[in-house]
Amino acid sequence: MRQRYNKGSHELYKRAVTKFLTGKWRRSDVLVMVEKYAGIPRKYILDAIKRKDLAELKELKEEAIEAITEETENLIAEIKEGRRPEEIEDVQIRRRYDGSCRKERDIAKLSNFHQIINHVIYEELKPLLNARIEPTQHASIPGRGQTGLKRQVSHYLRSELPICYFREAGCSERLSVA
């Protein structure tokens, strides 16, 4: 049987960290994380962005991504052992008033490592989430549910078998073949 998920590996974790960090290099929480785990001062990254020195920026980003990937691997190993990592902060939930529909909403603020772990989980489950739906599967997808199954059975009975009539049967009802 085909494997329906990606096994966690260094490359998968690196891809997840890269996706998480894309477009977030100026955020202060990300820069603090880079300073803590990669040892790169935020000043170096911000100066490289300001000067538009792409070669230096690429080198700094790769170094930071590698260090954060190693830390992510350590955190996931701790989680798999059943321990709660100290680096992962608790989820903060705040109630905010939504002015457009006049409701109070719970807004959750996740730490960076929560978000990275979410990216890792997505990368691991990507084959399962992108799996092709076979023609005989009738899920809750528009045009594929119960009516799709009825259409397929009707077509099959009309085209391939010399049956002219058929009847739906419930679970409690038994049909006798005469």
Distances (CA, A) of 46 to 16, 42, 60: 23, 6, 11
In a domain, residue 32? The reply is: yes
Q: How far apart are CA 164 and CA 90, in angstroms?
A: 64
More confident residue, 170 or 88: 88
More confident residue, 139 or 104: 104
Number of domains in the chain: 1
More confident residue, 45 or 160: 45
pTM here?
A: 0.68
Distances (CA, A) of 98 to 91, 92, 94, 108, 110: 21, 18, 12, 14, 20
In a domain, residue 125? The reply is: yes
Other beta carbons within 10 Å of 123: 20
In a domain, residue 154? The reply is: no
For residues 38 and 63, the answer to whether their CB atoms sit within 8 Å is yes
In a domain, residue 41? The reply is: yes
What is the domain extent for residue 107?
A: 10-129
**Selection from 3, 23, 8 nearest residue 122 by Cα:** 8
Give the pLDDT mean for 34-44. Answer: 93
Give the pLDDT mean for 62-73. Answer: 95
Is a pLDDT exceeding 80 seen at residue 47? yes
Is a pLDDT exceeding 70 seen at residue 1? no
Note the pLDDT of residue 152. 78
Note the pLDDT of residue 164. 61
In a domain, residue 116? The reply is: yes
Q: What is the pLDDT of residues 86-119, one digit of tens each?
A: 888 888 899 999 888 889 999 988 889 999 999 9
Is a pLDDT exceeding 60 seen at residue 174? no
Q: What is the pLDDT of residues 3-28, one digit of tens each?
A: 677 888 899 999 999 999 999 999 99
In a domain, residue 63? The reply is: yes
In a domain, residue 135? The reply is: no
Is a pLDDT exceeding 80 seen at residue 170? no
In a domain, residue 156? The reply is: no
More confident residue, 140 or 53: 53
